Amino acid sequence: MATAPPHPSTRPFSDLVLDFLAYLDLERGLSRNTLEAYRTDLQQFGVWLEEQGLSALEVTHTQLTDFIAQLGTGERGKGRAVAPATVQRKVACLRSFYRHLRLEGTIEHDPAAELHGPRKSQRLPQVLSREEVARLLGGPKGTTPRALRDRALLELMYACGLRVSEAVGLELADVDLEEGMLRARGKGSKERIVPVGREAVAAVRAWLQRGRPVLVGLTPEPHLFVNQRGQGLTRQGLYKIVQRHARAAGLEGRMSPHTLRHSFATHLLAGGCDLRSLQEMLGHADLATTQLYTQLSAERLKDAYFSAHPRATR
């Protein structure tokens, strides 16, 4: 005799989480980083549910609001409040989780439908000046494989506005040096085509001809950038490369790998690039995200004006 499936209310929270993450991976194609962040968020939520003696399927909107409020004020015994941007992500995770449960028929009413986090302050990103970028990119000197790799990596990240994950994920087939084009795989496995400038093309060509073969040898390694062992470069490895050259350029503490992406966008806007084209090159799904750089560009113009105009300063 067939055994009846367990009632939804008796299913372990861990099973619900696994089903949800599988849905995000297979149906929505979210990136590995987003999936890992959501898994961590739900694990933390599960611990809180146990502490409160609550069920994930019976929790109320008020109780969810209490959970979010405690994160923002650091009242969970950790002594430190969670950053507003992180709280916003956790709110988005819970809203998506309970929306999925509602669509699957696991719950009748969605307690997270009207859940909101703290308002995110729109902090302008840090960018480098053109002179600072030139100093950073001029740092890797010599013809050793490491110097050729570092120069090509920094040039390409600035030339194309690449995220860290996109840079380390680049494969040989993604770069067309003859056409000066590159295929980047962004968030949610979305692909976009980005032009590659002359300096970056020259640096990548030198790396492919005189640097990469020395490190890779006969190993069939598909990634464009590799470490000293000839294996695909990791996020941590890329971060160390950028920080090493930032220190040498006197920019330590003022930049991260993502700063090159911000600088790429700001410098393009200052040079006359239209917002829609920039959105396409950055791979932003929402134009509002790209518009932040308009504000940043305006701030830099204002700073330049007040520091240079003889009738604008005191």
Residues acting as catalytic residues: 163, 187, 258, 261, 284, 293
| CA separation for the pair 267, 128 (Å, rounded) | 9
Residue whose pair of structure tokens reads 């692909």 in the numeric block: 191
Cα–Cα distance between 204 and 211 in angstroms, integer? 10
Residue 234 in tokens: 């990791």
CB-CB neighbours of 5 under 10 Å: 7
Whole-number Å distance between alpha carbons of 44 and 13: 12
Kindly give, in sequence order, each residue whose CB lies less than 8 Å from that of residue 140, ignoring residues fewer than 6 positions away. Answer: 146, 147, 148, 150, 151, 154, 245
Contact partners, residue 277, CB within 8 Å, separation at least 6 = none
What is the DSSP secondary-structure string of 281-294? HHT-SSHHHHHHHH
**Cβ–Cβ < 8 Å for 93, 144:** no
